[in-house]
């Protein structure tokens, strides 16, 4: 049996691989590669793709996954914080763009209805491209990132009313006021259901799924939440993409958002490629080259118009000029939802073939140039600001920028010392608590739900996720870590994690805990700096205590322990193996011990007295070997040395006498 779409999938992906490989060589964005794939393989190119409808379905799935991931990376609390940007920023940007586009289109000879509709199309920016670029650059949390997100959310919402108004512009109006009221009611109902799901239903479901420890079930649950929410909004007359974004917001309120993102990303990358391919397939190549210079002029006009409107919008919202310009460099293109709206316009005879192709070419050109302009947004913004300022002000600004850059570098250096602890079992807990006591910044990665909750309860900075996934390691800022401790019992997962660590950070000191001695050599070969077998370290700890009790010198004990470790525990693995270490015959004095006793109270009987006056030797026959005071050791013990509060006394004597001294001091 032949699966019709399989051939199209192979052609699209195969051709995309070849084109993007060539693009990567010249450091060109992969988005352009997918657009070019669609142009070449589409009906206006080589006509390699026959199942165009099926490809469009795959592209819509990609947009759903994209908006879902963006929703996960944001949060409902974050959305509430930018509600003013969403409402007023969106209204100013969309309204201003529609007004200026209408004026320009009308003077170019288009009828009033078409001019208004062109304003609808031009006002929409590319959610897929902009949010993808912001996410890749790590700029989602920046002021211009939040502004872009707020305006894009408004655009995605306003698409639905635009679709309702389109029949009116085409002269096919029904009772539009009633339709709008119904739409608002539907939106309110859907929003209420989503709030209930986010607070009361989804967290409980995810907790039970996580406790099952089934990665397949976790992935399936995440996908079901995504598509069921998208279906719900679609059933109420709203867009699938908006539903997917809401689904992401629901997941973002849980503790498992990072792992959900890691699981969904591969699906998003595959399906979003079909979206850009499908856009490229719509372009009439002959029309494009026939009117190339006109289309290029119109594209530049659209870019300038949208940048002007966005800049004014952000300035009206009382943001700095730099933020306004950076926002304009993000939102100047025509977006993917404009294609959906354009199809509605075509079905209502608002656009003829030539106007539609002009719009399509302008959209593709503006989308294609976006990654280039976005990549140089910061230097372009700085250049524009400098050109707008007097010479004296520019010099002061340069000094300020250098100071801020230096301060930023110094601040970033402070973040390059943290520990990444993978696994919050006994060993992970001990490392975490020790790091906390030593004020060393650290982050814990844990996949077990109960351990995750325990790590949170102890006040740790903790991520829920699978450390074998590169995205989870990036969320832990692995590239800036100094030490990585892998304290999990899964040997195969440990090896995968070591490989991923070395792909991201070549200098971090990687310590691995293992239960099996046979794993040492392989783990070291993969990039670990130190592999500690649990059972053998316990043995070393035991015989260290034994040798210490027999008063073997400390340096010899350490030499012995280090020798065992340096030989990869060969002495402990092989009973017949003889390894010689320089350990002298231990000194053992019968019925005598060395003990340390603190001097803790101001009213203590020996505080302020000399060693001789304290009576430790004369009354209890105990010798003071050393005193630790303010983290320093006093080893030259003079009989006239005075004892102070918070001293730590190291005493030598019989167990009975040591006990009497302890009782006397307390």
Neighbours of 570 (CB within 10 A): 13
CA distances from 177 to 173, 181, 183, 236 (A): 10, 6, 10, 17
Which residue in the block uniquely carries the two structure tokens 């763009």? 97
Q: What is the pLDDT of residues 105-147, one digit of tens each?
A: 888 888 888 899 999 999 999 887 888 788 777 777 678 888 8
Alpha-carbon gap, residue 396 to 391, rounded angstroms: 9
Report pLDDT for 413.
39
Helix (H/G/I), strand (E/B), else coil: 595: strand
Report pLDDT for 327.
92
Alpha-carbon gap, residue 462 to 481, rounded angstroms: 15
Alpha-carbon gap, residue 401 to 404, rounded angstroms: 5
Query: In 570-650, which residue ranges form alpha helices assigned H by DSSP?
Result: 570-573, 611-614, 616-620
**Average pLDDT across the chain, whole number:** 80
Which phi and psi angles does 298 have, rounded to 5°? -65, -40
Helix (H/G/I), strand (E/B), else coil: 348: coil
Which residue in the block uniquely carries the two structure tokens 């001019």? 115
Query: In 257-390, which residue ranges form alpha helices assigned H by DSSP?
Result: 257-281, 285-290, 292-316, 321-328, 336-347, 353-375, 377-388
Report pLDDT for 117.
92
Report pLDDT for 284.
84
Report pLDDT for 414.
47
Report pLDDT for 90.
87
Q: Which CATH number fits domain 4-375: 1.20.1530.20, 3.30.830.10, 1.10.3720.10, 1.10.10.1100?
A: 1.20.1530.20
Query: In 351-477, which residue ranges form alpha helices assigned H by DSSP?
Result: 353-375, 377-388, 391-413, 426-437, 449-457, 470-475
- Residue partners of 248: CB distance under 8 A and separation at least 6: 67, 68, 69, 70, 71, 72, 73, 74, 226
Neighbours of 612 (CB within 10 A): 13
Alpha-carbon gap, residue 519 to 531, rounded angstroms: 9
Report pLDDT for 98.
94
CA distances from 326 to 367, 374, 375, 659 (A): 17, 9, 11, 73
Which DSSP letter does residue 460 get? -
Q: Where are the domains of the chain?
A: 4-375, 381-413, 419-528, 593-665
Cα-trace Rg, the chain: 34
> Does the structural domain 419-528 have CATH classification 3.65.10.10?
no
Q: What is the CATH number of domain 593-665?
A: 3.30.70.1450
Neighbours of 354 (CB within 10 A): 11
52-73 and 215-235 helices, crossing angle to 10°:
110
Which residue stretches of the chain have pLDDT < 50?
Answer: 1, 408-414, 575, 585-586
Check if the beta carbon of residue 518 is closer than 8 Å to that of residue 499: no
Alpha-carbon gap, residue 645 to 600, rounded angstroms: 6
Encoding tokens for residue 134?
A: 């912001």
Helix (H/G/I), strand (E/B), else coil: 553: coil
């Amino acid at each position: 049996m032949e699966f019709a779409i399989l051939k199209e999938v192979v052609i699209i992906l195969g051709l995309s691989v070849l084109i993007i490989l060539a693009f990567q060589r010249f450091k060109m964005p992969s988005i352009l590669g997918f657009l070019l794939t669609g142009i070449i393989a589409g009906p206006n190119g080589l006509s390699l793709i026959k199942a165009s409808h099926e490809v469009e379905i795959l592209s819509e799935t990609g947009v759903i996954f994209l908006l879902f991931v963006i929703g996960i990376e944001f949060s409902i609390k974050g959305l509430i914080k930018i509600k003013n940007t969403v409402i007023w920023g969106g209204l100013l940007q969309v309204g201003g763009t529609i007004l200026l586009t209408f004026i320009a289109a009308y003077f170019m000879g288009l009828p009033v209805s078409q001019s208004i509709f062109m304003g609808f199309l031009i006002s929409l920016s590319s959610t897929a491209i902009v949010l993808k670029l912001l996410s890749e650059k790590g700029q989602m949390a920046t002021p211009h990132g939040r502004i872009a997100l707020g305006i894009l959310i408004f655009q995605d919402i306003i698409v639905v009313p635009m679709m309702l108004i389109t029949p009116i512009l085409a002269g096919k109006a029904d009772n539009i006021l009633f339709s709008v009221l119904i739409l608002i009611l539907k939106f309110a109902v859907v929003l209420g259901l989503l709030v209930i799901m986010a607070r009361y239903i989804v967290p409980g479901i995810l907790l039970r799924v996580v406790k099952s420890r089934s990665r397949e079930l976790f992935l399936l649950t995440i996908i079901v939440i995504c598509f069921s929410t998208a279906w719900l909004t679609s059933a109420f007359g709203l867009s699938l993409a908006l539903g997917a974004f809401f689904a992401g917001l629901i997941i973002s309120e849980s503790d498992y958002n990072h792992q959900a993102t890691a699981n969904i990303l591969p699906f998003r990358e595959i399906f979003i490629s079909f979206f850009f391919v499908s856009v490229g397939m719509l372009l009439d190549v002959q029309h494009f080259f026939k009117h190339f210079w006109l289309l290029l002029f119109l594209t530049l006009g659209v870019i300038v118009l949208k940048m002007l409107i966005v800049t004014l919008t952000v300035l009206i919202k009382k943001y700095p000029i730099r933020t306004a310009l950076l926002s304009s460099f993000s939102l100047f293109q025509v977006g993917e939802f404009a294609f959906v709206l354009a199809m509605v316009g075509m079905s209502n005879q608002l656009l003829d073939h030539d106007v539609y192709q002009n719009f399509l070419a302008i959209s593709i050109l503006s989308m294609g140039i976006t990654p280039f302009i976005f990549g140089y947004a910061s230097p372009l913004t700085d250049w524009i600001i400098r050109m707008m300022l007097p010479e004296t002000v520019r010099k002061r600004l340069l000094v300020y920028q250098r100071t801020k850059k230096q301060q930023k570098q110094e601040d970033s250096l402070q973040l390059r010392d943290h520990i990444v602890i993978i696994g919050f079992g006994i060993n992970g807990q001990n490392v975490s608590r020790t790091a906390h006591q030593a004020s060393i910044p650290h982050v814990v990665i844990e996949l077990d739900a109960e351990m995750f909750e325990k790590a949170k309860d102890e006040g740790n900075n903790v991520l829920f996720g699978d450390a074998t996934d590169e995205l989870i390691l990036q969320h832990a800022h692995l590239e800036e870590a100094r030490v990585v401790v892998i304290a999990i019992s899964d040997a195969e997962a440990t090896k995968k994690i070591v490989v991923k660590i070395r792909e991201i950070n070549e200098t971090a000191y990687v310590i691995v805990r293992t239960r099996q001695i046979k794993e040492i050599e392989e783990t070291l070969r993969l990039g670990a700096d130190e592999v500690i077998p649990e059972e053998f370290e316990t043995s070393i700890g035991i015989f260290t205590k034994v040798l210490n009790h027999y008063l073997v010198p400390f340096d010899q004990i350490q030499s012995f322990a280090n020798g065992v470790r340096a030989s990869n525990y060969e002495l402990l693995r092989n009973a017949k193996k003889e390894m010689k270490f320089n350990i002298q015959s231990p000194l053992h004095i019968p019925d005598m011990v060395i003990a340390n006793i603190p001097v803790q109270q101001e009213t203590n009987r020996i505080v302020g007295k000399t060693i001789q006056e304290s009576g430790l030797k004369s009354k209890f026959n105990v010798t003071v070997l050393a005193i630790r005071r303010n983290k320093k050791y006093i080893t030259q013990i003079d009989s006239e040395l005075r004892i102070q509060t918070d001293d730590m006394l190291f005493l030598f004597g019989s167990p009975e006498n040591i006990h009497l001294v302890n009782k006397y001091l307390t």
